[in-house]
Amino acid sequence: MLDLSQVAGRISGFATAFRLETLDTYTSASDGGDVARYLAGAPAPDPERKERWLSQLRSERAQGRMRQRVHVLSSPIGPYLRYECEWGYAPNVEAGEDVRILDLAEVPRPPALDVDHDFWLIDDQEVIRMDYEADGRFSGAEVAGPGALPRYLAARDAALSAAEPFTTWWQRHPEYYQANNRAT
């Protein structure tokens, strides 16, 4: 099993990196307390921590590197996904990441998306399956064998085709904006 630093090492230097996300909650100390601040009604994430990430995304984009993500979810979404959308995806998109939402309450799951777990697909050559505990805590990752690659390529293509751009989806769902959920 790979730990997070090993996963990051395998991803660094990519030309294309695709991430499929499937969970409603991720538990990670790397958020720097931003989830708690969001849920408490703070107006913005920790600017120093967030800016480092956004600078990395801008740099990758300027180098011609493509980072894509599809989050498979079913609305209505809960507090964690509201946080992820508003303080994660929205600024990430502005910085150059291609983020899309596949809302299974709005569109059917594509048959080729037969993967029910998170994964990274690096340069269309390497699949890293991400494993999580029930509470969304990362527990390890493993590199899938080359025989699994066609399945993950098909899953990626189906997810990208069926999902809609994050900004379009988010604009249609103001009910999830932090300003509209102060009492939750």
- How does residue 72 score in pLDDT terms, banded at 50, 70 and 90? very high
Residue 143 pLDDT exceeds 90: yes
CA dist list (Å): 11 to 8, 124, 178: 5, 12, 32
Residue 164 pLDDT exceeds 70: yes
End-to-end CA distance of the chain: 38
Give the model's pLDDT for residue 184: 45
Arithmetic mean of pLDDT over the chain:
95
Strand ranges in the chain using DSSP code E only, listed in sequence order: 16-21, 66-73, 98-103, 119-122, 126-132, 138-143, 164-165
Using only C-alpha atoms, what is the Rg of the chain?
16
Handedness of CA 152, 160, 50, 174 (dihedral sign): negative
How many CB atoms are closer than 10 A to CB 59? 12
Q: What is the mean pLDDT of residues 17-25?
A: 98
Q: Which of 133, 17, 102, 101 is nearest to 64 (CA)?
A: 17
Residue recorded with tokens 């303080």: 87
Give the model's pLDDT for residue 48: 87
Residue 183 pLDDT exceeds 80: no
Q: What is the mean pLDDT of residues 168-184?
A: 87
CA dist list (Å): 82 to 13, 45, 122, 150, 175: 30, 13, 27, 33, 10
Q: What is the pTM (predicted TM-score) of this model?
A: 0.95
